[in-house]
């Protein structure tokens, strides 16, 4: 027995067997029993002009963007200069809006919802650009959790219980309050629930259940948020615990990594909620956690905590996976966020004490743009994009100057670079881990 202390928390490793590369059989696995899962992100609208576009890389421009001519560029520059002069002339007599405020936004406020892993609890913070204000905590105490996911309707929030083997459900109000959802959730899932994933249409919830071998349980979601099991599928590897389901945007395929088996499996997803294994089990690095499918459905990425790299795959039309070259290097990558236009990605490097910014190439390669330090007292655990894509919220594992996790806001600059803004907000939660954070604007 040996202990690895380079991840977000110390881990006992039962085997020193290393995972290979490419396709492997179900018998090939590396036992590393430690709780850890993946990353979350809603799909907000495209970036407003100038927020984070890198005109020096035209190959990455959004495919729907119109062609630019030199005349148009000149006209645009003239308009921008005139607008800037007008703004400067009126600024002295106008009331300055709050930093990060978006005048075009309307409807419900935006919230950042964060769940605890070391202790019980869920915290809701109002997110106004760099201003993060704690609003409420969940009235129902959760057990050790590695998954906290919003339903696509923007009304309900579900939390998976690892120790309690259940699923909590709440209604998120426009005021940022979590109210227990009557008839929602599952009191006994039959084993530790380590991951949750909703189908894009919101009709189904897939949960990863089990302490040794993962069973994928599909629940039908009722009009009131209730969950009814309709299908069960075992992972091919008999030792495949600590996975989390990742849907493609069209809802036709699901990918499930295993933290202990160091693998990635692909499944087709039927209209009735049935999962069918497809292709060959893919080898990941050591301790893969918090995967991410790009919003355009072309690529799948996951960070490997103990081999210090990021695996990438191209998603083929039939749902099978093709590796994208050599893994991309990082020091304990732990969770990613991809922009809604699938052009940029961010990864929290926990032991590197930084957030890496990548530009996604045409073939899916991750091209490093920048590395932004988070400070020696704030090892990052998760990165989450704001709904308008202007801000990246970085949640630390636990502040080394205190016991609780804090959140810091970073403004997105041109080419996915970052600049810290404002002061960090205290979540009041002791240790954050897993797929336990997202931004949301509650619907009516």
Question: Each residue of 411-425: pLDDT tens digit?
Answer: 999 888 999 998 999
CA nearest to 415, candidates 325, 346, 330, 337: 346
Confidence of residue 89 (pLDDT cuts 50, 70, 90): very low
Total domains present in the chain: 1
Confidence of residue 141 (pLDDT cuts 50, 70, 90): confident
| Residue 56 maps to a domain | no
| Residue 143 maps to a domain | yes
Report the SS3 class of residue 420.
strand
Tell me the two tokens of residue 401: 């100057």
Task: Find out whether 310 and 331 touch, Cβ atoms under 8 Å.
Answer: no
Model confidence, pTM:
0.77
Tell me the two tokens of residue 365: 């390669």
Report the SS3 class of residue 266.
strand
Residue 68 pLDDT > 90: no
Q: How far apart are CA 35 and CA 33, in angstroms?
A: 7
| Residue 173 maps to a domain | yes
Confidence of residue 118 (pLDDT cuts 50, 70, 90): low
Query: 269: domain CATH number?
Result: 2.130.10.10
CA nearest to 194, candidates 157, 145, 236, 238: 145
CB neighbourhood size of 439 (10 A): 22
| Residue 391 maps to a domain | yes
| Residue 87 maps to a domain | no
**Taking residues 48-70, what's their average pLDDT?**
39
Beta-bridge partners for 128:
131
Q: Is 229 exposed, middle or buried (0-12, 13-18, 19+ CB in 10 A)?
A: middle
pLDDT digits (tens, 9 = 90+) for 292-334: 999 999 999 999 999 999 999 999 999 999 999 878 888 899 9
Per-residue confidence (pLDDT) for residue 401, from 0 to 100: 66
CA nearest to 39, candidates 437, 440, 315, 441: 437
- The domain of 181 spans 35-44+103-440
| Residue 86 maps to a domain | no
Tell me the two tokens of residue 13: 């490793």
Half-sphere exposure of 271 (CA within 13 A, CB side): 0
Per-residue confidence (pLDDT) for residue 356, from 0 to 100: 96
Per-residue confidence (pLDDT) for residue 292, from 0 to 100: 97
Confidence of residue 43 (pLDDT cuts 50, 70, 90): very low
pLDDT digits (tens, 9 = 90+) for 198-222: 999 999 999 999 989 999 999 999 9
Q: Is 134 exposed, middle or buried (0-12, 13-18, 19+ CB in 10 A)?
A: middle
Q: How far apart are CA 436 and CA 429, in angstroms?
A: 12
pLDDT digits (tens, 9 = 90+) for 262-303: 999 999 999 999 999 999 999 999 999 999 999 999 999 999
Residue 395 pLDDT > 80: yes
């Amino acid at each position: 027995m040996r202990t690895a202390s380079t991840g977000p928390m110390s881990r006992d490793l039962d085997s020193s067997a290393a995972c290979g590369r490419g396709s492997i059989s179900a018998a090939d696995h590396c036992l590393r029993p430690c709780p850890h899962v993946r990353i979350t992100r809603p799909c907000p609208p495209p970036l407003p002009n100038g927020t984070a576009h890198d005109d020096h890389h035209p190959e990455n421009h959004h495919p729907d963007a119109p062609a630019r001519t030199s005349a148009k560029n000149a006209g645009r520059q003239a308009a921008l200069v005139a607008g800037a002069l007008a703004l400067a002339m009126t600024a002295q007599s106008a009331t300055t809006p709050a930093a990060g405020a978006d005048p075009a936004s309307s409807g419900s406020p935006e919230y950042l919802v964060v769940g605890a892993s070391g202790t019980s609890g869920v915290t809701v913070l109002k997110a106004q650009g760099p201003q993060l204000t704690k609003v409420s905590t969940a009235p129902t105490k959760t057990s050790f959790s590695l998954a906290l996911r919003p339903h696509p309707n923007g009304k309900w929030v579900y939390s998976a219980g690892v120790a309690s083997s259940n699923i909590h459900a709440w209604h998120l109000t426009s005021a940022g309050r979590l109210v227990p959802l009557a008839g929602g959730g599952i009191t006994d899932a039959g084993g530790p629930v380590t991951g949750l994933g909703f189908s894009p249409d919101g009709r189904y919830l897939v949960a990863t259940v089990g302490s040794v071998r993962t069973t994928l349980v599909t629940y039908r979601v009722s009009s009131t948020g209730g969950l009814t099991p309709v299908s069960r599928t075992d992972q091919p590897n008999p030792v495949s615990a600590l996975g989390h389901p990742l849907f493609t945007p069209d809802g036709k395929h699901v990918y499930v990594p295993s933290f202990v088996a160091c693998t990635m499996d692909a499944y087709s997803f039927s209209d009735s909620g049935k999962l069918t294994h497809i292709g060959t089990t893919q080898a990941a690095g050591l301790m893969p956690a918090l995967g991410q499918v790009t919003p355009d459905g072309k690529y799948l990425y996951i960070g490997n905590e103990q081999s210090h790299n990021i695996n990438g795959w191209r998603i083929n039309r039939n749902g099978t996976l093709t590796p994208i070259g050599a893994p991309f290097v990082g020091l304990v990558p732990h969770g990613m966020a991809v922009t809604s236009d699938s052009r940029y990605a961010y990864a929290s490097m926990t032991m590197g004490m930084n957030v890496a910014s990548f530009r996604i190439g045409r073939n899916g390669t991750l091209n490093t743009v920048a590395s932004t330090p988070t400070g020696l007292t704030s090892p990052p655990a998760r990165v989450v994009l704001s709904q308008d894509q202007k801000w990246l919220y970085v949640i630390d594992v636990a502040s080394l100057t205190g016991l609780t996790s804090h959140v810091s806001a970073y403004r997105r600059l041109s080419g996915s670079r970052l600049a810290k803004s404002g002061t960090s907000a205290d979540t009041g939660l002791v240790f954050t881990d897993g797929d336990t954070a997202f931004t949301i604007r509650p619907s009516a």
